[in-house]
Amino acid sequence: MFEWLNDLKERFFSSRLTVMVGIMSLFAIILLGRLFVLQIVRGSSYQDNYNLLTEKTETTDATRGNIYDRNGNLLAYSELAYAVTIEDKFSNYSTDDKNKLLNEILYEIITNLNANGDEIDNDFGIYLNSAKDYTFSSSGTALQRFRADIFGYSSIDDLKSKSDSKYDIDEANATADEIMEFLCGEKKYDISTDYDEEIRYKIAVIRYNMSLNNYQKYISTTIASDISDESVAYIKEHEADFTGVEVEEKSVRRYDESECFANILGYTGKISTEEYEELSKESDDYTLNDIIGKSGIEQYMNEYLSGTKGYKVVYVDNVGNVLKEAESKDAVSGGDVYLSIDKDLTIATYNLLEQEIAGIVYSKIQNIKEYNSSSDDSSSNIVIPIYDVYFSLVNNNLIDISALDSDEASDVEKSVYSTYTSKYQTVQNTLRDILLADAPTTYKDLSEEYQQYSTYVVKTLRSNDVLLSDSIDTTDEMYQKWSNEELSVEEYLKYCIENDWIDITVFTQKSLYVDTDEVYESLVDYIASDILTTTDFEKLVYQYAILNDEITGNQLCTILYDQGYLEWDESTRNSLASGSLSSYSFLKEKIRTLEITPGELALDPCSGSCVIIDPNNGDVLACVSYPGYDSNKLANSVDSSYYSQLVFNLSNPLYNHATQQRTAPGSTFKMISSVAGLAENVITTSTQIQDLGIFDKVSNQPKCWYYPSNHGSINVSEALRDSCNYFFYEVGYELAGGSNYNDEKGIEKIQKYASMFGLDEKTGIEIEESTPSIATEYPVMAAIGQSDNNFTTISLARYVTAIANSGTVYDLSLMDHVTDSEGNTIEEYSSTVKNTVDVLDSSEWSAIHYGMRMVVESLECFDGFSVEVAGKTGTAQQVTTRPNHALFVGYAPYNNPEVAIATRIAFGYTSHNAAEVTKNILSAYFGVEDTEQLINGEASANSSTNTVTD
């Protein structure tokens, strides 16, 4: 296996005399070594013997503590598994010999791991896709940090400010291919091109991971974790051949029902360079081989969960072989963390949210190509063309387009790829003709398809800082023509060049050009090489190939089976391929049965959140974000390919929709306006306000949602019941001074009372959270939840908790208590009272509560529900081209609240959808219906399509 040994023999033993001297010397060394070892084993007290050895401290990792729910149900735990590790024992070798030996050892190990279905630990910033192309797994700051680490810069600033490249590469902009070429090349690891691309990639990943430990001698690097018994047996059998390689027992992190809890628990992973530098400021115990909490509770409670490392001091020879153990200290296991959340309630909430969202998507899909809205259309009338669903299979990467031309590709895959490549070439040539035409076509005269391609080009030039947004004079006449689609792309870009709106240094080395035309030709070359080759542009070409029926829905659905995205079903697959099964019917059925989920399609709606709090003590019982992710695939060592899928998933599963997403609250804000109006005496519980339909006391003259009808003369309880905008316009107007109207005064009043309910700051939970914001303008509109109000779901849940308990606002905690490894409680946690809202008397609170009760009584989805619920719906428009956000806040039971709840379905069309899923969640909590019947693994059949404008 190791032919390089023959080279060494020839190099060092080229003559018979040298051989004889070498053999004699070797015998002498062995004899002396044996005598020396014998002295050590017998416990020789001669200190001089130890001067020939090296003292080595081996660290023993502590077992990470468990995470439990409030009832002691296990959520996260560690278990022992086998890992194969390697220690760099090649310091005495030349660089060439080290590379040759080490690469061959890794080749043998990787080949065996692959054969046994085991994968290397891989959190490397580049992955190899199905087409054997190198792709970054991150972007932005994370990508620049990765580049800095690769090329040995201590910071991103150092990377960017370098005067000369170390390696004849533009390091700050190095491509994935350039980085891999650098790592595999002679200047770094010299990995043979005789190995196939996947093997070379994996060797480079392991070599790079080993290099991170170079600063510490005798530190091992994990090659692969949780390996099979077959791989363990192979490594043990070949340990003598594999210098520095061992099989070790290591603990690996596991998560139960991971998708439901991922956004709370987070995950563990190998410490990054940046994290190491930061944590090392606090403790010297960290190494670059450590596993730490990377997000969520795992990160926040890392110190408790990690435990205390142990150690063993040994004496080793010059290649690291242990000769004697001197002293040791056992590791202390980490503590166990108990949360306030309820496991069963969280799982039920997550599944019910997914079913409801899938039901909405299912109900909105129509067998049409495109949806073209008119100015009179309500957001609730927006539908999902089936062609949008077809494209989402490509756009959100359910289909791996990079694998369509692989050796393993099916005939259908190859056919789709052939169609695409032909179309792509046509598009590229046509665009070049458009950009270099003697008689340019104005933008408005291009076909819709080529308008979209042209728009993509210009937008990408902006995002790449080629077209300098800050330099553009938007009042310029030519710019105005471009905005009005009266210029060609060519005329616009040439004008940008002439006015220094384009940074030519991005696409050319030359500082001066003869004329604009020459600069422009270089720009067109840049567009062809750097913009038309991006994945996003390729997907745009796929989109129009689908819309033009060049690629069919049946082909795409067939590929879902061919690429293993759906469980193999030969009969269905062949029916799709032959066209005997409708792709429209097929996809609707897969969505109904959740074999394809809303989070996978990433069409509106595709996300939702729900937070449930005990209003009696502030315990957070559930904090659910949909979609989640499988944290088991990120724990211990990140699967870079899976992580990349999550990063680029358009439904944003890594984002906590419960604690980070902010939207307008819609009419769920109207209880704040009620409190403000009552406390400021602009209304009483019996004040009657006549709904006139149009509120003409302010310049924008907003209408009540019920216009041209009206709600008549109503009081505050009835206004909440009817969600009467006119009533709350009047409240906002009076808060601003009424006939002495002052915008600033009105906003100050609204901010004052909203802040009493904590809507101006974070809730205090231990995971990442966005700061909510109260409106800063237009008190009349702010009073109905519009203006620039922006709140998270958890902030709405805290607010409605205070409504339910008549004024107690909590600083929230997800924690309950922590125990040590012996089970002793060492710290207790709880939500604490932040403040009380004591501006209302009991009759005024009752008026608000009664109004919320009447809201629920008027909702069809709560008909016959045995638990009395009070609540408020909310529908919030973000943009006219997408459905409205759907919200519901409430509490139950009405007379003696046990839970307060806030639910949001982003772009969920109507608040009735949020109300319906809330009812189902409350059913699961109270056991009103059989939870198994509710959580049936299928899309909700009752999702509302009615227009609700509250």
Give me the mean pLDDT over the 719-732 stretch. Answer: 98
- Where b means 16+ CB within 10 Å and e means fewer, 671-684 reads bbbbbbbbbeebbe
Comparing CA positions, the residue from 732, 767, 560, 534 lying closest to residue 656 is: 767
Q: Provide the pLDDT confidence category of residue 9 given band limits of 50, 70 and 90.
A: very low
With 70 as the cut, is the pLDDT of residue 168 above it? yes
pLDDT band at 554 (very low <50, low <70, confident <90, very high): very high
Tens-digit pLDDT profile for residues 424-453: 999 999 999 999 999 999 999 999 999 999
Please say if the pLDDT value at position 395 is more than 50.
yes
Q: What is the pLDDT of residue 28?
A: 47
Confidence of residue 38 (pLDDT cuts 50, 70, 90): very low
Whose CA is closest to 605, among 137, 940, 200? 940
Amino acid (1-letter code) at residue 332: V
Q: Name residue 333's amino acid.
A: S
What is the structure's pLDDT at 950?
72
User: What are the pLDDT digits (tens) for 490-544?
Assistant: 999 999 999 999 999 888 765 555 688 889 999 999 999 999 999 999 999 999 9
| In the predicted structure, residue 375 carries a pLDDT above the cut 70 | no
**Average pLDDT value for residue range 375-401:** 91
**Residue 239, pLDDT score:** 87
Q: Are 361 and 392 contacting, i.e. CB atoms less than 8 angstroms apart?
A: no
Q: What is the pLDDT of residues 344-367, one digit of tens each?
A: 999 999 999 999 999 999 999 999
What is the structure's pLDDT at 605?
98
Once rounded to an integer, what is the mean pLDDT over residues 83-99?
89
* d(C-alpha 620, C-alpha 13), whole Å: 74
pLDDT-derived band at 2 (thresholds 50, 70, 90) equals very low
Which tokens is 140 given? Answer: 């932005």
Which pLDDT score is estimated for 15? 43
Give the long-range contacts of residues 540-543, CB within 8 A, separation 24 or more.
540/452, 540/453, 540/456, 541/420, 541/423, 541/424, 541/427, 542/391, 542/394, 542/395, 542/401, 542/420, 543/391, 543/394, 543/395
- 32 or 586: which leads in pLDDT: 586
Q: What confidence score (pLDDT) does residue 55 get? A: 79
- The predicted pLDDT at position 531 comes to 95
- Give me the chain's average pLDDT, please: 90
CA distance 96 to 383: 63
Query: What percentage of the chain reaches a pLDDT higher than 90?
Result: 74
Distant-in-sequence, close-in-space partners of 921: CB < 8 Å, separation ≥ 6:
348, 349, 352, 610, 612, 901, 903
Q: What is the pLDDT of residue 129?
A: 84
User: Which among 393, 426, 558, 417 has a CA at the least distance from the CA of 131?
Assistant: 417
| pLDDT tens by residue, 773-827 | 999 999 999 999 999 999 999 999 999 999 999 999 999 999 999 999 899 999 9
Per-residue pLDDT reduced to its tens digit, 241-258: 999 999 998 889 999 999
pLDDT of residue 447: 97
Contact of 258 with 635, CB cutoff 8 Å: no
Distance, in Å, from the CA atom of 932 to the CA atom of 928, rounded to the nearest integer, reads: 12
pLDDT at residue 948 above 50? no
The band of 20, judged by pLDDT with boundaries at 50, 70 and 90, is: very low
Which range is least confidently modeled, 50-64, 147-161, 679-693?
50-64
Predicted confidence band of residue 139 (pLDDT cuts 50, 70, 90): confident
Which residue would you say has higher pLDDT here, 893 or 948?
Answer: 893
Q: At what angle do helices 411-435 and 489-498 cross, to 10 degrees?
A: 60
Give the pLDDT mean for 828-832. Answer: 97
Between 33 and 407, the higher pLDDT residue: 407
Q: How far apart are CA 824 and CA 631, in angstroms?
A: 29
Instruction: Decide which of 317 and 715 is more confident.
Output: 715
b/e 698-710 (16+ beta carbons within 10 angstroms → b): beeebbbbbbeeb
Indicate whether 51 pLDDT > 60.
no
Asked if the model's pLDDT at residue 578 lies above 90, the reply is: yes
372 pLDDT more than 90: no
Query: Does the pLDDT of residue 11 top 80, yes or no?
Result: no
Confidence of residue 1 (pLDDT cuts 50, 70, 90): very low
pLDDT beyond 70 at 870: yes
**pLDDT value of residue 824:** 95
Q: What is the pLDDT of residue 32?
A: 47
Percent of the chain with pLDDT over 70: 90
Query: Does residue 267 contact residue 114 with C-beta atoms inside 8 Å?
Result: no
pLDDT of residue 380: 81
Between 177-181, 511-515, 846-850, 907-911, the lowest mean confidence (pLDDT) is in 511-515
Q: Mind listing the pLDDT tens digit for each residue in 921-935? A: 999 999 986 555 555
Residue 13 clears pLDDT 70, i.e. is over it: no
Dihedral sign for Cα 744, 749, 750, 752, please. Answer: positive
| pLDDT single digits (tens) 613-651 | 999 999 999 999 999 999 999 997 677 788 889 999 999
Please report the pLDDT score of residue 69 as a whole number. Answer: 98
**pLDDT above 70: residue 16:** no
Is the model's pLDDT at 663 over the cut of 70?
yes
Name which residue leads in pLDDT, 600 or 3.
Answer: 600
Q: Kindly report the pTM of this predicted structure.
A: 0.89
Q: DSSP assignment of 624-669, as one string?
A: EEES---GGGTSSS--HHHHHHHHH-TT-TTS-TTTT--B--GGGG
